[in-house]
Structure 1
Amino acid sequence: METISNGLRIIYNLIYKGDLENALWEINDLEQFIMQNAPALMDKHHLKTYFTKWRNRLIRSHNQNLNLLLEEIEHLAIKFENIIIN
């Protein structure tokens, strides 16, 4: 994974295409990656809350919830555009 933004865009595209199961896996993978490599970002930006909320919305997958989810992901992807974690 090059940037957090790339990971978020992968999740966005999976949700947009309706591949919710793989989106859930990608959310878990991104969360674990950030927790291992940049735990300060998790706390500073309350990412744990975002990840939990996204998983809950995907499990309940109503169209309105998915649209809100996509908006949040896009907002965060823009916010983290240039953050690279090695």
Structure 2
Amino acid sequence: MNLRANVQVLSKQYSPISLPTVFIGENNVMNPEYQIDGRVIVNSGIDCQYSKIKASVDFYNMLNKDYYQGGSFILPIPQQKFNFLAKVSYVF
């Protein structure tokens, strides 16, 4: 059995907005210098293997944070809230 934990600390990002009057919440983000705040995302997972069968479960955004991805997009892109991925495989 293998346990994994991952904490991502993401710094603030520029997300230039060039459309006329765009709001996120109450913030007018029509500004090429607009910055998205930093955030902390907590991920975790577990792997198990018995004989030739392997199973794993990964949990993402365990604190269910609302956050956006900035960069060179016209608008900041909303990211997924809490989600998980379960896998079962057979090892040859």
Q: Which one has the largest radius of gyration?
A: 2
TM-score, normalised by the number of residues in structure 1: 0.24
Higher helix share: 1
* Bigger strand fraction: 2
